[in-house]
Amino acid sequence: MATSMETAKDFFTVVDERQSIRKYDPTVTISKEELSDIIKTACKAPSAWNLQHWHFVVIRGKEAQQRLLPIAYNQQQIVDSSAVIAVLGDLEANENTDAVYDPLVNEGHMTKEVKEILAGQIKSAYENKQYARDAAFSNASLAAMQLMLAATAKGWATCAIGGFNAEQFMSEFNISKRYVPVMLITVGKSIAPAHRSTRLPLETITTWIEK
């Protein structure tokens, strides 16, 4: 059964409604078009130098999801969800420099001189492999969170999954070594509420420096 669940919701309602859902209706499918809309929204997330350090592998269809199941340690949500989106971080996001900045230069929004300054900063940063890896994870994670909020706003349930074998994933789905797997996100229709969770008190997780 295919379904579209797009709704208009207040941002704070979306944040309150987003939960990690692990039980899905396996009969519900999600269209390529709706997944594409969700990913387009995710791609509006911020990123360092606007290099957009993310790549999404959409695993949709029971046969494809069955291939992923053992890699994700046989978590049933992998096959019961309507799709699984693997969020990858780009270890070579510096290669996006021209694609990101040349249109701005051509349209007169940025000078060639400014572009060259930024390109130099990026080149210098990416000589440090640890920076490249850290940036891949942090920036792709921003897009991942935005993806889950976008899905929630459209009425879909999601769950971020860190429990999977990254090396097996790379091999099974022939992923370029340019990318590093960051997380899997299941998307589907919930058939059971998330288990109760708590949040630490604000005073525990906040330090105020005002002098």
Residue 9 has pLDDT above 80, yes or no: no
In a domain, 6, yes or no: no
Token pair of 7 as six digits: 């709704």
Q: What residue numbers bound the domain in which 56 lies?
A: 11-205
* CA 23 – CA 14 distance, rounded (Å): 19
What is the model's pLDDT at position 107?
98
Q: Are 150 and 38 in contact (CB under 8 A)?
A: yes
Give the whole-number percent of the chain exceeding pLDDT 90. 91
In a domain, 211, yes or no: no
In a domain, 3, yes or no: no
Residue 4 has pLDDT above 70, yes or no: no
Tally the domains of the chain: 1
Report, as an integer, the average pLDDT of 57-68.
97
- Confidence tier at 1 by pLDDT (50, 70, 90): low
Provide the sign of the torsion angle of the four alpha carbons 165, 166, 170, 171, taken in this order: negative
In a domain, 2, yes or no: no
Q: What's the whole-number average pLDDT of the chain?
A: 95
How many CB atoms are located within 10 Å of the residue 168 CB? Answer: 14
CATH number at residue 31: 3.40.109.10
In a domain, 5, yes or no: no
Write the DSSP symbol of residue 194: P
Report, as an integer, the average pLDDT of 178-194.
95
In a domain, 84, yes or no: yes
Token pair of 106 as six digits: 């051509």
Of the candidates 153, 138, 139, which has an alpha carbon nearest to the alpha carbon of residue 187? 153
pTM of the model as a whole: 0.92
